[in-house]
Amino acid sequence: MSVNVINITGDMTTGEVTTRWPSTKTVFTKHFGSGCFTCPAFGGEPISMACAMHSTDVNIFVGELIEAATKEEASKK
């Protein structure tokens, strides 16, 4: 059984991540609130910029995104 390593970085856009792994939306909501998805910047904004705008530690945030995406991928198997 192979293990796929999920590679999410702060340079990726919010839209890239949520489109590929919809389960990551829960992480965005947890840290930024439910209005996150109606923000004009959402989709094209780098994760690092979103974290800076919300005073959120990008390393913790990306770690949680990877955890959510990994669980999503595992559930597909």
DSSP string, 5-19: PP---TTSBHHHHHH
**pTM (whole model) above 0.85:** yes
DSSP 46-65: BHHHHHHHTT--HHHHHHHH
Kindly state whether residue 22 falls inside one of the protein's structural domains. yes
Kindly state whether residue 9 falls inside one of the protein's structural domains. no
* One-letter amino acid for residue 18 of the chain: T
User: For 3-37, what is each residue's pLDDT tens digit?
Assistant: 578 999 999 999 999 999 999 999 999 999 988 88
Kindly state whether residue 3 falls inside one of the protein's structural domains. no
- CA angle 15-17-69, nearest 5°? 150
Kindly state whether residue 23 falls inside one of the protein's structural domains. yes
Number of domains in the chain: 1
Q: What is the pLDDT of residue 54?
A: 93
Q: Which residue has the tokens 């998805």?
A: 37
Kindly state whether residue 7 falls inside one of the protein's structural domains. no
User: For 24-72, what is each residue's pLDDT tens digit?
Assistant: 999 999 999 988 889 898 999 999 999 999 999 999 999 999 999 999 9
Give the residue numbers spanning the domain of 26.
Answer: 14-75
